[in-house]
Amino acid sequence: MFIIMDDEEVIRKTISDMLESLGYTVECKENGREVVDFFTAEIEDKRNVSGMIFDLTIQGGMGGKAAVGEIRKLNTEIPVLWPVVMRMIRNEKSFRLWFYCKHLQTI
């Protein structure tokens, strides 16, 4: 399972669709507090989380940086990624969201 946290629905949906097409189960959250609460419950129930993709800043809520700080108190091994470059590309058939991710080494 992957956890995706972003305050923009289009970002959550696009990344979720990409991961699901690769066979992953995905849980989407709008802010860091939701992720920390969900992750804590998953760990307590001994469920596997393969990775997390976070927006580092959230307007009016806990962003990825603060959420990772709390999550790292529970688990230091699960990969955390964040999109560092995003752009919408339009061609005649569809809009596509392209993004690159970096591994969040330490927070």
pTM of whole model > 0.85?
no
Report residue 8's pLDDT band, with 50, 70 and 90 as the boundaries.
confident
Cα–Cα distance, 38 to 23 (Å, whole number): 21
Tell me the fold of 2-103: Rossmann fold (3.40.50)
> What per-residue confidence (pLDDT) applies to 57?
81
> What per-residue confidence (pLDDT) applies to 97?
46
Structural domain boundaries in the chain: 2-103
Higher per-residue confidence, 82 vs 59 = 59
Q: In this structure, how many other beta carbons lie within 10 angstroms of the beta carbon of residue 2?
A: 21
Q: In this structure, how many other beta carbons lie within 10 angstroms of the beta carbon of residue 29?
A: 21
Two tokens, residue 47 = 């469920």
pLDDT tens-digit map of 26-79: 999 999 999 999 999 999 999 999 999 988 888 889 988 899 999 999 998 888
Sheet holding 95-103, edge to edge: 26-29, 2-5, 51-54, 80-90, 95-103
Task: Check if the beta carbon of residue 82 is closer than 8 Å to that of residue 102.
Answer: yes
Category of 46 on φ-ψ map: left (φ > 0), alpha (ψ -120 to 50) or beta: left
Report residue 84's pLDDT band, with 50, 70 and 90 as the boundaries.
low
